Amino acid sequence: MNPDQRIFIAGHNGMVGSACHRFLQNRGWTHIITASHDELDLCNAGETFAFLQNQKPAIVINAAARVGGIHANQSYPAEFLQSNLAIGLNLVEGSRRAGVKRLLNLGSTCIYPREAPQPIPEEALLTGPLESTNEGYAIAKIATLKLCQTYRQQYGLLYHSAMPTNLYGPGDNYHPENSHVLPALLRRFHEAAQKESPAVKVWGTGKAQREFLHVDDLAAAVFHLLHLEDPPDWVNIGTGKDCTIAELAKLIAATVGYSGKIEFDPSRPDGTPRKVCDIQKIKATGWSPKISLVDGLLQTYQNFRQSLQTNSLRK
Ligand SMILES: NC(=O)c1ccc[n+]([C@@H]2O[C@H](COP(=O)([O-])OP(=O)(O)OC[C@H]3O[C@@H](n4cnc5c(N)ncnc54)[C@H](OP(=O)(O)O)[C@@H]3O)[C@@H](O)[C@H]2O)c1
């Protein structure tokens, strides 16, 4: 891999895609190919094949996906399965047809069974039933992972996948209902601090344990993987460390300068008690996360405030 190669980042306007774009720009890459969703619908095979044929990238990163919370996944299960399957298939097959030798596909740890051992090892894939609330999304991600694995086997193309844990950072979605737990809490605590509210309610008991990785650490992992000559077919990317939602809420309160009470609402579901990934495999290749949760939250909060000021917050 070198900065003169043509590299296509599919989904470059999203949180992960924009972090990969920043990472490359900061390192002097000059041939970064992008197309917004309006310019190229990756669900459309003809458009995607033609785009890849015309652009002829040497490397493709798949950071495009139809992403949503539990509510969206449960309301539109057919659309989540169909569009993510189509994006994966069109990018992988389109890349093969265009002679792309290297492709890195982004998945998610939701591909692992609901009852997977904790920390979750890569070997847990396809060993049990999936979480039912986002089954379609997970099946599409598993199918794309398997496409990459089989294209590597059958065609000798270096197509492989990375499975990140919960991510946060610049470009996150702060929608009050549809966002993930960390951006949702950041926004709620920020608003409570502004209004000087006496208390903030946090869903669940606060005891569930989760892992959070800064998206800039993920971008570094993506490019680390792209430099490996023999990368794993799929590999977890995380911190390997978890914290309780109560600890996260306290950290966020401190980050935004909120000094009121934090109240938990046990009538709301906690979800799975613990979710953390085993990162021994990627660590053994020489990558490890650099951004602590405290520093990452501070930087993310600064970015959140800037986005509010410039009216560019995703919500
Ligand atoms: N965020 C996390 O915590 C997290 C954790 C683990 C894994 N991941 C994985 O990382 C990947 C990227 O996630 P993200 O958080 O960056 O999501 P995101 O911010 O929603 O970005 C996804 C991007 O894909 C684009 N896109 C969707 N459908 C498209 C289509 N048919 N054609 C062209 N572009 C399309 C979206 O454009 P529009 O918005 O214009 O539709 C958006 O720019 C996903 O595979 C996700 O599973 C994310």
Taking only the tens place, the pLDDT of each residue in 73-83 is 888 999 999 99
Q: Domains of the chain (ranges plus CATH)?
A: 7-171+212-240+276-291 (3.40.50.720)
Ligand 1 centre to CA of 17 (Å) is 8
169 close to 303: Cβ distance less than 8 angstroms: yes
Closest to 268 in 3D by CA, of 70, 54, 90, 38 = 70
Residue nearest to atom 13 of ligand 1 (CA): 16
Mean pLDDT score, 155-173: 97
Residue 49 has what pLDDT? 98
Ligand 1 centre to CA of 252 (Å) is 25
As given in the structure block, the two tokens for residue 120 are: 């979750």
**211-249 residue pLDDT tens:** 999 999 999 999 999 999 999 999 999 999 999 999 999
Closest to 13 in 3D by CA, of 35, 41, 39 = 35
13 close to 64: Cβ distance less than 8 angstroms: no
Q: Which residues line ligand 1 (CB under 6 A)?
A: 11, 13-17, 37, 40-43, 63-67, 83, 87, 106, 108, 164, 166-167, 180
CB atoms within 10 A of CB 297: 24
Q: What is the DSSP letter of 204?
A: B
Please give the single-letter amino acid code of residue 157: L
**86-97 residue pLDDT tens:** 999 999 999 999
Atom number of ligand 1 nearest to Cα 172: 19
As given in the structure block, the two tokens for residue 171 are: 């470009």
168 close to 231: Cβ distance less than 8 angstroms: no
Residue 69 has pLDDT above 90, yes or no: no
216 close to 289: Cβ distance less than 8 angstroms: no
d(CA 158, CA 44): 24
In sequence order, the 6+-apart residues with CB closer than 8 A to the CB of 220 are: 23, 287, 290
Residue 3 has what pLDDT? 86
Mean pLDDT, the chain, integer: 96
Residue 71 has what pLDDT? 79
Residue 151 has what pLDDT? 98
Got the DSSP string for 98-118?
Answer: TT--EEEEE--GGGS-TT--S
As given in the structure block, the two tokens for residue 252 are: 């966020």
d(CA 116, CA 267): 25
Cis peptide before 269 (omega within 30 of 0): no
Residue nearest to atom 44 of ligand 1 (CA): 65
Residue 34 has what pLDDT? 98
Closest to 222 in 3D by CA, of 287, 292, 170 = 287
The angle formed by the CA atoms of residues 186, 188 and 254, to the nearest 5 degrees, is 50
Closest to 10 in 3D by CA, of 63, 70, 51, 46 = 63
d(CA 62, CA 83): 14
114 close to 129: Cβ distance less than 8 angstroms: yes
Atom number of ligand 1 nearest to Cα 42: 32
Ligand 1 centre to CA of 195 (Å) is 32
137 is catalytic: yes
**242-283 residue pLDDT tens:** 999 999 999 999 999 999 999 999 998 888 899 999 999 999
> Quick check: pTM over 0.95?
yes
Residue 301 has pLDDT above 90, yes or no: yes
